[in-house]
Amino acid sequence: MRGSFDWPVVIGQYRELFDELGAIRAAAPAESPRKLHPLRGDPFRDFSHFATSQLQPTTLVAAANVTAQSSDLHRFLLSRSGLDLMYAGCHASPAELQQLLLRLDQDGPLSVGDLLATHQPSRHQALAMGLVWMAKLGALRWFNPDN
């Protein structure tokens, strides 16, 4: 069973599939002779604004549309808590998320490493997950200085 369903095996199969699909796309003509279905968009255009990088310690993070003092923060925190009610201990608490936003409000864009340095290392993974959720919901934006 592990040889078929263990996560490293499954992820390896996904990567092989992605590489194969990328090769097919690269070999395809620039203009597709067929028209797209009117009810289904082009996924490469529709999802082009989705993340193309992973959150790293060097990733710079900045507050976007929500500040720690804004009334939107409360709505944001409620929406975050409603997205994933399982394993609450593995996630950053609303108070921790507010602390991260306060720090970003005060100090401007910071690297993830600098932002998390003042927190207990045991909370770093949960806080990083909270940063990803906040970026997903539009409260944060991030950019990698390497790109």
Given this model, what pLDDT does residue 66 score?
Answer: 62
16 is in which domain, residue-wise? Answer: 2-46
In-domain check, residue 54: no
The domain total for the chain is: 2
What letter would DSSP give residue 65?
S
Q: How would DSSP label each residue in 84-95?
A: --TTGGGS--HH
What letter would DSSP give residue 53?
S
In-domain check, residue 89: yes
Same domain for 70 and 39, yes or no, is: no
pTM tops 0.85: no
| Strand ranges, E, within 24-70 | 60-63
Same domain for 28 and 64, yes or no, is: no
Residue 101 in tokens:
């936003």
Report the percentage of the chain scoring pLDDT > 70.
66
Same domain for 39 and 80, yes or no, is: no
Same domain for 33 and 96, yes or no, is: no
Taking only the tens place, the pLDDT of each residue in 83-120 is 555 666 677 887 888 888 889 888 889 999 999 999 99
